[in-house]
C-alpha cells in the first residue's frame, strides 16, 4: 500500500533567541492535498514553512518527511523531493530569467552534464504558463516584484517535486495572475502532488485549498476542511474583523468583510 503520509510533526518547538515562535506543533500532513496555512502576521506561518523545508531545524520535537527524519536528508535529496517558493528573494547573481528557471532542473541533471531537450522544453512551457516568456532574456535583478514571483514559481514547477511549499506567493501579484497560479497548484494536487501555501487571502484559501491549518500566537489553533474551519467566528477571533460567509448557487463559498 502506498504511504499517504507526507510530513509528520511531533511536539515541535522553535524560537528566535529567547522569543518562542512555534510551540507544541503536532500534526500529520497527508500526500495529495492542498493545504492552506493561514493566521495573522507574526503567527509563525513563514517559520513553519522554513521548518517543513529543512531550512531551519526545530529546537525540540521531530519532523519526518515520507517517514524519514527531515534533518537526516542531504540537500540534493531534498531538492529532488520538495521545492520552496519563499516570500522574499535575494539574488547574488545576474542570470537571466531563462537561466534562473533552468536552475529548477538541476536536481534532475547529472553532474557535469548539460540540460537535455526535455529540460529546455519544460522551462519553455513553464515560462509560457506563468506569462513570463517575453522576459526570458531579461536579468532576474531587473524585474518587478510580481514578475520575480512568477519567475520563481516557474522555477519551482520545472523542479517537478512531489511536495511544494509556497510562502505568500500571491501577495505581489495582479488578481488574474494570482488566480492562475492557484489554479495551476490545484491542478498539480489533482495529479497527486502535495501543496502547502501560506496565504493572507482567506477567499483564495476557501476557493482552492482542501484543508486549512490555522496558526495563532505560534500554536496550531484549528485545522480541518476549508469550509468547516473558515467561518465568521474564526475571522472575528483571529483577525478581529466582522464578516459573513456567503454560499453561491454553484456551491462556491466566500467571505464578505464588514468594513464599517
CA gap 208, 38 in Å, rounded: 13
Beta bridge partners, 197, equal: 36, 166
Instruction: Find the distance separating the first CA and the last CA of the chain, reported in whole Å.
Output: 53
CA gap 22, 61 in Å, rounded: 11
Residue 94: the pLDDT is: 85
Question: Concatenated DSSP letters for 200-223?
Answer: S-HHHHHHH-SEEEEEETTEEEEE
Residue 3: the pLDDT is: 61
Q: What is the pLDDT of residues 6-30, one digit of tens each?
A: 999 999 999 988 888 999 999 999 9
The contacts found for 182-185 with CB under 8 angstroms, 24 or more apart, are 182/207, 182/208, 183/208, 184/129, 184/157, 185/34
For residue 248, what pLDDT band results from cuts at 50, 70 and 90?
Answer: confident
What's the average model confidence in pLDDT over 74-102? 89
pTM, two decimals, is 0.92
Q: What is the pLDDT of residues 173-190, one digit of tens each?
A: 899 999 999 999 999 999
Residue 130: the pLDDT is: 93
Residue with cell 536528508: 73
What is the pairing mode between strands 163-167 and 5-16? unpaired
Amino acid at each position: 500500500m502506498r504511504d499517504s503520509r507526507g510530513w509528520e510533526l511531533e511536539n515541535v518547538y522553535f524560537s528566535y533567541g529567547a522569543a518562542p515562535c512555534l510551540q507544541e506543533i503536532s500534526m500529520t500532513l497527508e500526500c495529495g492535498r492542498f493545504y492552506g496555512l493561514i493566521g495573522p502576521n507574526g503567527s509563525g506561518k513563514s517559520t513553519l514553512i522554513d521548518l517543513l523545508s529543512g531550512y531551519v531545524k526545530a529546537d525540540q520535537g521531530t519532523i519526518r518527511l515520507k517517514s524519514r527524519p527531515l534533518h537526516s536528508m542531504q540537500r540534493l535529496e531534498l531538492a529532488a523531493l520538495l521545492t520552496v517558493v519563499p516570500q522574499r528573494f535575494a539574488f547574488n547573481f545576474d542570470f537571466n530569467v531563462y537561466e534562473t528557471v533552468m536552475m529548477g532542473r538541476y536536481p534532475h541533471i547529472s553532474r557535469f552534464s548539460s540540460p537535455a531537450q526535455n529540460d529546455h522544453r519544460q522551462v519553455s512551457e513553464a515560462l509560457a504558463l506563468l506569462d513570463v516568456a517575453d522576459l526570458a532574456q531579461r536579468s532576474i535583478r531587473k524585474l518587478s516584484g510580481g514578475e520575480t514571483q512568477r519567475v520563481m514559481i516557474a522555477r519551482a514547477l520545472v523542479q517537478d517535486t512531489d511536495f511544494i511549499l509556497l510562502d505568500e506567493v500571491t501577495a505581489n501579484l495582479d488578481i488574474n495572475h494570482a488566480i492562475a497560479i492557484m489554479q495551476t497548484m490545484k491542478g498539480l494536487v489533482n495529479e497527486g502532488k502535495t501543496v502547502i501555501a501560506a496565504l493572507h487571502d482567506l477567499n483564495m484559501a476557501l476557493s482552492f485549498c482542501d484543508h486549512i491549518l490555522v496558526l495563532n500566537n505560534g500554536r496550531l489553533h484549528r485545522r480541518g476542511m476549508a469550509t468547516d474551519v473558515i467561518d465568521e467566528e474564526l475571522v472575528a477571533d483571529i483577525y478581529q474583523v466582522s464578516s459573513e460567509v456567503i454560499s453561491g448557487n454553484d456551491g462556491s463559498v466566500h467571505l464578505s468583510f464588514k468594513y464599517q
